[in-house]
Chains A and B, each alone.
Chain A
Amino acid sequence: MKLKTLLLGAIAGTALAPAAFAERGSDGHVNIIYWQAPSILNPYLSSGTKDIESASLVVEPLGRYDQDGALVAYLAEEIPTVENGGVAADLKSITWKLKSGLTWSDGTPVTSADVKFTADYCMNPEGGCAQLAKFEGVDSVEIIDDLTVTVTFGEAKPNPYGPFMGGQSPIIQMAQFENCTGAKAPECTDANFGPIGTGPFVVTEFRPNDVITMEANQNYRDAAKPAFATLTFKGGGDATASGRAVLETGEFDYAWNLQLAPDVLAKMAEGGKGTTVAAFGTLVERIEMNMTNTSPDLPEGERGTAMHPHPFLSDVRVRKALSMAIDRELLVEIGYGQAGRPTCNLVPAPLAYASDNTDCLIQDIEGAKALLDEAGYTVGSDGVREKDGVRLSMLYQTSTNAVRQDFQALIKQWWDEIGVETELRNINASVFFGGDPGSPDTFQRFYADVEMYANNFDGTDPESYLAQHTCDKAPKPESQWQGENMNRYCDPAYDALVAELGRTGSLAKRGEIAKKLNDMLTKESYVVVPLVDRGRVSAHANSLGGVVLNTWDSELWNVADWYRIK
């Protein structure tokens, strides 16, 4: 990726020498297609990727993550750190300083009041702000002077880059949203559909769930950018259509997230009109093992709770054998191609937090069989192993998605080979990932033995992600089946280590603890069985230059630098 970027940069340097002196808007029109259409341009009212990324063309945060996950100042003068004094030594406050001379697209100056207002807007208890988690632990936001604000946290915050960092928490204009706080937030349709921002583009028309037309922001801080005068952001259709539109017909210049089988994508790329780009973040496709018994014979209220441990998955040897039987290389080859790599880790990146655990990468059917023999499960007359009347027969659920169904079929076959019977079920994503406590099919309720889905964490710090597997986060009837510890894994040692991570400030030490936590969940207990580290594949037309795919922030983070290769 880096090499590619450099090469692209070199090409740009030679081919576009005049670009440095180019005028804003000299490259005409650019077409972007997202197969999920944006519904709203206010990221505080919707956390859908499509909404956040389309909004990132217009509104900007103080700082962003770059393609390597490093912090880059955007509206801020620089990224505050302990070293430069921006972050207090006790980690309880962070002081941001805005660049001077910044203006909104309507020409008014950007001040620290806007920054403070943004925090108040999201933290309003009636607003239902989608990015509230970004402001977790914030005690107050104080205006120091016109360009300086200090965010104070209730307790020491080893990672103070929650508020105002990344595409999810951009700065919005106080003048525009002043009367839209709290319960009135959804009533301000005009503001939500056309926020005034500092970004390279300005909304001219927004059609919800369909298309956005934009033009260059005449007050953008770099007088030569953006290179495009107008922009169309089309939404809808499916990944196949958007891939085709960029790679085969050239109707569009940029297509987002082409989740297509690798051979299909390769065939499209032969169209010759565009190029695919891939980058990796922290998204991991995994199988979660249920530690509790979800047999329908158990009464509601006890079913799927810690009261009844799982008849065979509570044995670590069974879980390990199930993991050993999987050929992750093949899964990647079939499902993701260049956009995936096999992994044994729950936290695959960034480097400081990624464990070096690779022992699951080699498929070992014989070893798995031996392990099950050792655990006392012998092959019965129908080829399914059993011990004391407990048959190794499982229900394996996931959401409806072509790649996931292929994975299910393959994994079922491998588990068949080691004598484990599997019944497959796929559930509509809007039910599976919904938290409806009345539905038996949600992934939190987990009325199955194993389930497969993908998850990741925001930004580069895995603390809250790893904290999802503490005992108290287990979904149970009393908590309306809400919670993130789907497996109902419960280990006091793990909880203690999570608590320690929360108190640790040193980066090296944090990395060490995070790796240990990752290993406890994966190679030590096999409660979570990671399969594939999923990257992102997008495509851009051959004539579109400057694209740098970024999975740590909005994909359109550097749209101001995009240009037309002539």
Chain B
Amino acid sequence: MTDLSNSTPLAPPRSQWLSVWDQLKKHKGALMGGSFLLFITLAVLLGPFVWSLDPQKIDYRSRDFRPIYHLLFDADAKAVWGHPLGTDQLGRDGLANILAGGRTSMAVGWSAMLLTLFIGTLVGVIAGYFKRLDGPLMRLTDLFLSLPILPLLLVAVTLFRQPLRANFGPEGGMFILIVAIIGITSWMPTARIVRGDVLALKEREFILAARSIGTQPGAMIWRHLLPNVISPIMVSATLGLAAAIITESALSFLGVGFPSDFPTWGKMLADAVQRMEEFPERVMLPGIAISMTVLSVNYLGDGLRDALDPRIRGR
């Protein structure tokens, strides 16, 4: 509250989003999170061009190499600069796999998370705001919450794999299928949380005031309701990203994920669990990659939430 003087009334009126951006820039966590996200995104996008080893290439003779840092404390460690992060039990390069796996995991994670948020927020806001739609939409949510996921997956695969594969190729088709499946099976908590908040907000004085000056429902939702439910949505986003990355690997276990030679972080983590005592790096690397990504989204979300709150903004 000390910086109240900053927002000098003499300055010309600024766009709301510009000041949000200004505030975000000042948020240390958001800045760090954002730059890490940018780094990891660039790394997985451009990395494979710099580090051109084929992640799927099996070289059985050079299997079970340790990461290069092992040389620091063990001069005899089986490590070479050719495989700075070591190799797995079939001799596939660790670094190439992290990069290639990150590409898939980030793509799946972000798309599925955005889809989840979109459906969840849409259903939640509509159900909360329009009393008449509340009942049907919430019963629909109950229905989706009750559906057993494995049969649902199997049905989706049976019905849609062939047409998607014909139109988008084996990997592209699977990508769409996986994102859609994660999206439509995980929007319900977001919807219920957003609805709960909207139900409470709707009765607040400022909404009443806005309504009394004739604000249309669309504008009401967009300008007054959404900015006020942003914090649970942000939490859903962070948790949703982590959940999507992990769920993707669970799908491969059930045999409905990507082809088995297609690396993803979740799958690398799952494959390495059996050998975590001898080769801890194989669980650590994808584990850290996932956690760091999720953490940085979390900090970015924190920053965004603070920046969007006019009471905190300018503090």
Contact = CB atoms under 8 A, between A and B. Distances in A.
A and B touch in the complex (CB under 8 A): yes
B65 to A, nearest CB: 14
A261 interface: yes
A410 B58 contact: yes
Interface stretch (B135-143, B255-263, B288-296): B255-263
Interface in A400-448: 400, 402, 405-406, 408-410, 412-413, 423-429, 431-432, 438-441
A380 B257 CA distance: 31
B110 to A, nearest CB: 25
Contacts of A402: 271
B170 interface: yes
Contact of B259 (A263, A330, A426, A439): A426
Given A263-B275, A264-B275, A412 B255 contact: no
Interface in B234-261: 252-256, 259-261
A276 interface: no
A410 B275 CA distance: 20
Contacts of B212: none
Interface residues of A, number: 32
B259 A261 contact: no
A441 B260 contact: no
Contacts of A399: 255
Contacts of B254: 400, 428
Given A261-B274, A431-B255, A440 B261 contact: no
A303 B58 CA distance: 34
Contacts, number: 66
A542 interface: no
Nearest to B165: A296
Contacts of A423: 170, 259
Contacts of B275: 263-264, 267
B277 A426 contact: no
Given A260-B274, A431-B255, A424 B89 contact: no
B255 to A, nearest CB: 4
Given A408-B260, A413-B57, A429 B158 contact: no
A130 interface: no
Given A428-B254, A440-B158, A409 B56 contact: yes
Given A263-B89, A400-B253, A441-B158, A405 B274 contact: no
Given A261-B274, A400-B253, A409 B260 contact: yes
A429 B150 CA distance: 13
A426 B158 contact: no
B39 interface: no
Which 7 pairs, one residue from A and one from B, show the smallest C-beta to C-beta distance? A400-B255, A428-B255, A405-B260, A424-B259, A409-B261, A264-B274, A427-B255
Interface of B: 56-58, 60, 89-90, 154, 157-158, 162, 166, 170, 252-256, 259-261, 271, 274-275, 277-278
12 contacts: A260-B274, A263-B275, A264-B274, A267-B277, A330-B60, A334-B60, A406-B89, A409-B260, A410-B58, A412-B261, A413-B58, A424-B259
Given A424-B259, A425-B259, A426-B260, 6 more contacts: A267-B275, A267-B277, A406-B89, A409-B56, A413-B57, A431-B154
